[in-house]
Chain A
Amino acid sequence: DVKVTQSSRYLVKRTGEKVFLECVQDMDHENMFWYRQDPGLGLRLIYFSYDVKMKEKGDIPEGYSVSREKKERFSLILESASTNQTSMYLCASSSGLAGDLYEQYFGPGTRLTVT
Chain B
Amino acid sequence: AQSVAQPEDQVNVAEGNPLTVKCTYSVSGNPYLFWYVQYPNRGLQFLLKYITGDNLVKGSYGFEAEFNKSQTSFHLKKPSALVSDSALYFCAVRDRLSGGYQKVTFGTGTKLQVIP
Contacts and interface: CB of A to CB of B under 8 A. Distances in A.
A40 B109 CA distance: 7
B102 A56 contact: no
A90 B102 contact: no
B100 A99 contact: yes
B11 to A, nearest CB: 16
A95 B26 CA distance: 25
A104 B108 contact: no
Chain B contact residues, majority secondary structure:
strand
A93 to B, nearest CB: 11
A22 to B, nearest CB: 15
Contacts of A45: 103-105
Given A42-B109, A101-B94, A108 B43 contact: yes
A42 B107 contact: yes
A112 to B, nearest CB: 15
B108 A41 contact: yes
B108 A103 contact: no
Interface string A28-41: 00000101000011
Nearest to A9: B41
Interface residues of A, number: 27
A100 to B, nearest CB: 6
Nearest to B45: A106
B99 A104 contact: no
Contact of B102 (A41, A101, A109): A101
B34 interface: yes
B101 interface: yes
A105 interface: yes
A108 B40 CA distance: 10
Interface string A82-115: 0000000010100010111101111111000000
Interface of B: 9, 34, 36, 41-46, 49, 90, 94, 97, 99-109
21 contacts: A33-B103, A40-B9, A40-B108, A42-B90, A42-B106, A42-B108, A43-B90, A43-B106, A44-B106, A45-B104, A45-B105, A90-B43, A100-B102, A101-B102, A101-B103, A101-B104, A104-B36, A105-B46, A106-B43, A108-B42, A109-B42
